[in-house]
Structure 1
Amino acid sequence: MKKIMNLALTGTLVAGLAAGCTPVKETSKEGTAKPAGESAKPVSLKMTVLPDDLDTFKLVFDEFKKENPNISVQLDTIPQQQYYDKLRLQLSSGDDIDLIGGNMDVFLDTGILEPLDDYIKKSNVDVSGFGPLYDNLKVNDKMYGLPYRKSNWMLYYNKTLFDKMNVPYPKADMTWEDFRELAKKMTQGEGANKMYGAFLHPWAQTWYIQAVQTGASIIDKDLTPFKNALQFRMDMEKDGSIMSWAEQITTSAHYNSAFQKGNVAMNLIGDWHIAQLRTAEQEKKINFDWDVVPVPHPAGVAPNTSLATPVSLMLNKSSKHKEEAFKLLQFMTTAKGAKIFAAKGFLTGYTNDDIRKAYIGDGSMKPKNIHYFVEQKEYPEYPLLPGIKNIVLNNIYKQEGEMALTKAQTADQAIQKIGERIQKEWADKYGKDFKAAAKK
């Protein structure tokens, strides 16, 4: 199973719907195409991206159009909770979407994705900036998308609350047990005025991150690390130092609004939260100081080890303008686009010294310790195999984990059922891949 993790990598959060159409230009410094004159044939493309990424995509388009005046782009998004289901439906119905943004695994079983290898070779794309991520994203030795960002996790903390409580800030080298004790220390009050030591969002990965940090896979035969991780979340609820899953659901609690309210000391979530907090500061919605440290780690695991989920741009096999669409895809995912995403607080798939500097900034913006993001050791959230996200993560782990968190079953029972359901609902359907993995 350790080897299968090297084959693959592959977040997420506000709602919104937007569309725009932007005339754009035609060359690429990385050698994508020949310069196009004013007489180049006009081409209209359509792209759908995640709502949190929409505004930054628009900024990148502004740069792209300076070099590609003959290409126009209609940029759409879909509310987060409906994003993948609705987009899959649109694509299967034949909607003329040229480029698709999101987690690649969701579309692997559709046959919709165009392999990019020939385009990459023809355009002399410098893939070195993607590092090991490039080969890890290949499926059966083919590349079906390029990552424009990746979602690595970090621990955000409210410095003002720690100062008020006269408690030392979280440390960069902190085990999960250290974190649990610190959360208990930072918890006080009752009811609506209660201050929680930490907030763990209802997503399954906020508890199983501990297992992934050890290099374990969600399709492993031995799921003991996941049982321990689920039990840990349940124990923290018993401590009263985090809001219970049941209360989160009944009150529609969300990591962003909960942390911005100012009564949560620590918040475990991904890199995208930086952009949300910076926007809140600009809009004067928060008045406390904050920073980040690495996610707590299991005993025996190196500090600053994180779960990661790359988010890619993909080309629709049915696109009528594949060359132009790939040109835009390349611009968005390599040096020029990545630098703009980095400057907006997104951890990019492609990186170099300029992009790292753009991400870290000049020190004038929070968080002060943003450098931890570019120093992380990353494990993929799940193997990049057909059906992993839809069947294993979204359904099995979510449903059985929630049954445990509502006390309808124990952590042992939940993980036993997860193992059984993986075999029945996923391994039977994708048996060849699973058996190959199991042998390793």
Structure 2
Amino acid sequence: MRLKRILAITLAAGMAMTSLTACGGGKTAETTAADQTTAAGKTEETTAGGSGEKKVLSVTTWDNDTSPQFQAVIDAYTEANPDVEIKIIDTSADEYNNSLGISLSAAQPDPDIIWVKDMGSMLQMADKKQLLPLDDFMKTDNFDLSVYNGAAEQLQYNGVTYGLPYRSDWYVLYYNKDLFDAAGVEYPSNDMTWEEYYDLAAKMTSGEGSAKVYGAHNHTWQALVTNWAVQDGKHTVVDKDYSFVKPWYEAAVKLQDDGVIQDYSTLKTANIHYSSVFKNQQAAMMPMGTWFIATMIQSRAADETSFNWGVARIPHPADTEAGYTVGALTPIGISAYTDEPELSWDFVKFASSEEAANILAQQGVFTGIQTEESLKTIASAEFFPEGEENVEALSYTHYSFDRPLDPQIEEIRKVLDEVHEMIMIKQYSIDDGIKELNERVAEIKGW
């Protein structure tokens, strides 16, 4: 497939995405982008050019030290606006929503800017009036939403815009080319069913003990099972009957029992991050979001890793054509409690602009604005895997949401997480888990 056609397919697929899946790990931290001398809160400082008031914006991020998705835009903004300093409030992905919720409940001016980790939390913040509506800002600036190809409209809640599309992600399959070469096995293709993937994972499993190489790796998120159950677009993770997830849990448990993937309990107890598994070449393949492309590029650039890796389209159900995937959107919004609303809007505009899209593309990050230029930039980035098949992997034909735009999705996700863990550690049978999902979700939804 020619590059131009591939990029056109990706662009044509559009930005029909309304949720977020993101990576996890790291410790809570608070740092400053421009320099490390900023005290907590809003302060008056001396600028590089002389005395005067230096404006300070605070932004929330997660896992900022392991991904360039935030820092690259923050650095570009402060370089263009030397009189503005950005205070970064960084939290691990797993603790982000909880930490942000506690902060906002105090109704303090920090943070000013909020990167929204998932759509459910955005709806909750909107219902609590913790997010500043952006519509008046957009009207004043004659802001053009068409650059987001419909994604911005899908972020509107009750007719109000609380966030703009910052970045987009969807699931692909990462693989270790060196491990495949050593085994004399062909690389994963861009048209592979899940059954073919399971067989390939078994073939690529070798060794014992600490030297064992697993054929595949499933992170502990329930999304690494339920995503494939909604991949065909026939269901969502908010449903009255969860029997549709049964074959996917059967497959996940079997992979675990057969030793093709690391068992859930070990990963959970040891708090093993998926990036370390892949970077340490402990797994031949790994389903993960496109955000991990930037992580691997960054890792190679820093000489943290040296092996050759590739990317393929995510496998698909046997009755579904290649190109179906599951994905997410990261919005960026403004806290309702900010004491710098105009400056915050200026930052949000920049962070969700075409200029920022091209900056992030150089880091291998897919953004809310997908231009042919930005996609070509990602595909031609240093350390992006060579080969037309790797570029083709960036295209998709159908995009399902990992989490639907539902006001109660966070409550439901908690149930999904709890039942997922009980199934994977075999405290529940799969049938018992499905029964509990049906009962608890029906209670939440009032069905």
TM-score, length-scaled by structure 2? 0.84
For 2:121, the equivalent position in structure 1 comes to 106
Deviation at 1:374, TM superposition (A): 4.4
Match of 1:167, SS state, is coil
User: Match for 1:79: what amino acid?
Assistant: S
Q: Is this contact kept in 2: 1:139–1:384, CA < 8 A? A: no
For 1:181, the equivalent position in structure 2 comes to 199
Aligned-partner Cα distance in 2 for 1:7–1:345: 19
When residues 282 and 44 of structure 1 are mapped into structure 2, their CA distance, relative to the original with a 3 A threshold, is closer
1:13 aligns with 2:52: no
Within 5 A, what are the aligned runs for 1:160-199?
A: 160-199=178-217
1:320 aligns with 2:324: no
Deviation at 1:197, TM superposition (A): 0.6
Q: Is this contact kept in 1: 2:18–2:329, CA < 8 A? A: no
When residues 51 and 253 of structure 1 are mapped into structure 2, their CA distance, relative to the original with a 3 A threshold, is closer
Q: Deviations over 1:16-37 (max 9, x none)?
A: 42421549xxxxxxxxxxxxxx
Deviation at 1:62, TM superposition (A): 3.7
Q: Is this contact kept in 1: 2:17–2:399, CA < 8 A? A: no
1:211 aligns with 2:229: yes
For 2:5, the equivalent position in structure 1 comes to none
Q: Deviations over 1:61-115 (max 9, x none)?
A: 3433454454433222123332211111011112212111122421422320122
When residues 18 and 335 of structure 1 are mapped into structure 2, their CA distance, relative to the original with a 3 A threshold, is same
Within 5 A, what are the aligned runs for 1:271-310?
A: 271-310=290-329
Aligned-partner Cα distance in 2 for 1:210–1:50: 25
Deviation at 1:228, TM superposition (A): 2.0
For 1:227, the equivalent position in structure 2 comes to 246
When residues 385 and 169 of structure 1 are mapped into structure 2, their CA distance, relative to the original with a 3 A threshold, is same
Aligned-partner Cα distance in 2 for 1:408–1:352: 47
Q: Is this contact kept in 2: 1:198–1:266, CA < 8 A? A: yes
Within 5 A, what are the aligned runs for 1:16-165?
A: 16=27, 17-20=29-32, 22=34, 43-52=55-64, 55-65=68-78, 67-96=80-109, 97-103=111-117, 104-109=119-124, 110-165=128-183
Aligned-partner Cα distance in 1 for 2:115–2:195: 37
Paired residue total? 408
Match of 1:373, SS state, is coil
When residues 225 and 327 of structure 1 are mapped into structure 2, their CA distance, relative to the original with a 3 A threshold, is same
Within 5 A, what are the aligned runs for 1:387-398?
A: 387-388=408-409, 390-393=410-413, 395-398=414-417
Aligned-partner Cα distance in 2 for 1:153–1:177: 17
Match of 1:311, SS state, is strand
CA RMSD of aligned residues (A): 2.6
Deviation at 1:156, TM superposition (A): 0.4
Aligned-partner Cα distance in 1 for 2:274–2:438: 29
When residues 334 and 167 of structure 1 are mapped into structure 2, their CA distance, relative to the original with a 3 A threshold, is same
Q: Deviations over 1:129-173 (max 9, x none)?
A: 211322222222222111211231111001111111111111110
When residues 315 and 214 of structure 1 are mapped into structure 2, their CA distance, relative to the original with a 3 A threshold, is same
Q: Is this contact kept in 1: 2:329–2:368, CA < 8 A? A: yes
For 2:379, the equivalent position in structure 1 comes to 360
Within 5 A, what are the aligned runs for 1:399-414?
A: 399-414=418-433
Larger displacement relative to structure 2 (42-51 or 284-293): 42-51
Aligned-partner Cα distance in 1 for 2:264–2:421: 8
Aligned-partner Cα distance in 2 for 1:56–1:162: 30
Deviation at 1:358, TM superposition (A): 2.1
Q: Deviations over 1:383-434 (max 9, x none)?
A: 122231x2111x211111111111222212111211111111x213xxxxxx
User: Match for 1:382: what amino acid?
Assistant: R
Aligned-partner Cα distance in 1 for 2:68–2:255: 37
Aligned-partner Cα distance in 2 for 1:55–1:238: 36
Gaps of 5+ in 1: 1-5, 24-37, 429-434, 436-440
Match of 1:13, SS state, is coil
Match of 2:221, SS state, is coil
When residues 299 and 52 of structure 1 are mapped into structure 2, their CA distance, relative to the original with a 3 A threshold, is farther
Deviation at 1:340, TM superposition (A): 1.1
Q: Is this contact kept in 1: 2:378–2:384, CA < 8 A? A: no
For 1:266, the equivalent position in structure 2 comes to 285
User: Match for 1:373: what amino acid?
Assistant: L
Aligned-partner Cα distance in 1 for 2:150–2:431: 36
What is the percentage of aligned positions where both structures have the same residue?
Answer: 28
Deviation at 1:257, TM superposition (A): 0.9
When residues 192 and 83 of structure 1 are mapped into structure 2, their CA distance, relative to the original with a 3 A threshold, is same
Deviation at 1:244, TM superposition (A): 1.5
For 1:372, the equivalent position in structure 2 comes to 393
User: Match for 1:77: what amino acid?
Assistant: D
Runs of 4+ in 1 over 6 A off after TM superposition: none
When residues 279 and 8 of structure 1 are mapped into structure 2, their CA distance, relative to the original with a 3 A threshold, is closer
For 1:32, the equivalent position in structure 2 comes to none
When residues 279 and 190 of structure 1 are mapped into structure 2, their CA distance, relative to the original with a 3 A threshold, is same
Q: Is this contact kept in 2: 1:210–1:225, CA < 8 A? A: no
Gaps of 5+ in 2: 1-15, 36-49
When residues 252 and 41 of structure 1 are mapped into structure 2, their CA distance, relative to the original with a 3 A threshold, is closer
Larger displacement relative to structure 2 (332-341 or 40-49): 40-49
For 1:349, the equivalent position in structure 2 comes to 368
Q: Deviations over 1:166-196 (max 9, x none)?
A: 1111111011111011111111222222221
When residues 56 and 418 of structure 1 are mapped into structure 2, their CA distance, relative to the original with a 3 A threshold, is closer
Deviation at 1:56, TM superposition (A): 4.7
